[in-house]
Amino acid sequence: MAIQIFDEENIRNMPNEERFNYCEEILKHEQDESKRWDAVWLAGELAEDTNNNDKMRKKVADLMEWVLRNDTNGVVKHEASFQIAARNLRDKIPLLLEISLNDKSILSKHEAIEALGLMRAFEVEEKIKLALNDPNIDVKETAEFVLKRFNRLKNHGEYKPHNIL
């Protein structure tokens, strides 16, 4: 069963480029964080089932980066991290690591760490350990969880977005 995001503007019916531009406009100019959250999801869907060379995939990845660097709402940024993981946008692993260690939002830090875990970003395992020293218990617990999960998942093959669990 697919998750249905409220789409009162019928954005899903737009051609991909128009849909992307519409979502980008919302993300960069809309004051309502609930609409920005929806735009993150609706843009993220455009990277679903694409290959790494797909131009729209790169545009979506770059838009998610823009959100993580510029949005002021932790819930919206949380969703951008999830979209990066769900679409396995591996070139954004350094960004997720940066957010997990330095963002001012606890929610953003938590989801960035969790996204690294979902993506099986074993290459940054040692850096994730730095989050064990975060002053927030939720961030620490997320880092502990991901590190334990890494230990279980090593040698289980490449991550595929449809196999998150």
User: Any residues with CB less than 8 A from the CB of 160 and at least 6 apart, and which?
Assistant: 88
Task: Evaluate if residue 158 carries a pLDDT over 70.
Answer: no
pLDDT at 163 over 60: no
Task: Please check the confidence at residue 76 and state whether its pLDDT lies above 70.
Answer: yes
User: Measured in whole angstroms, how far is the alpha carbon of residue 126 from the centre of its chain?
Assistant: 20
- Whether residue 19 is contained in a domain is answered as yes
Instruction: List, for residues 86-144, the tens digit of each pLDDT value.
Output: 999 999 999 999 999 999 999 999 999 999 999 999 999 999 999 999 999 999 999 99
Res 1 pLDDT > 60: no
Flag whether 52 is in a domain: yes
Residue 26 or residue 1, greater confidence: 26
Within-domain flag for 84: yes
Q: Residue 79 sits in which domain range?
A: 11-155
22 lies in a domain?
yes
Length of the chain measured in residues: 165
Q: Is residue 43 helix, strand or coil?
A: helix
- Does residue 33 lie in a domain region? yes
In a domain, 63, yes or no: yes
* Predicted pLDDT of residue 21: 97
Q: Residue 159: which pLDDT band, with cuts at 50, 70 and 90?
A: low
134 in a structural domain = yes
Residue (of 111, 110, 114) closest to 134 by Cα position: 110
Q: Considering the domain boundaries, does residue 3 fall inside one?
A: no
- Measured CA to CA, the distance from residue 80 to residue 44 in angstroms comes to 8
The whole-number pLDDT of residue 57 equals: 95
CATH number for the domain spanning 122: value is 1.25.10.10
Counting the structural domains of the chain, the total is 1
**Per-residue model confidence (pLDDT) at position 164:** 53
* Predicted confidence (pLDDT) per residue in 20-66, tens digit: 999 999 999 999 999 999 999 999 999 987 888 889 999 999 999 99
The reply to whether the predicted model has a pTM over 0.85 is: yes
Higher local confidence (pLDDT), 156 or 34: 34
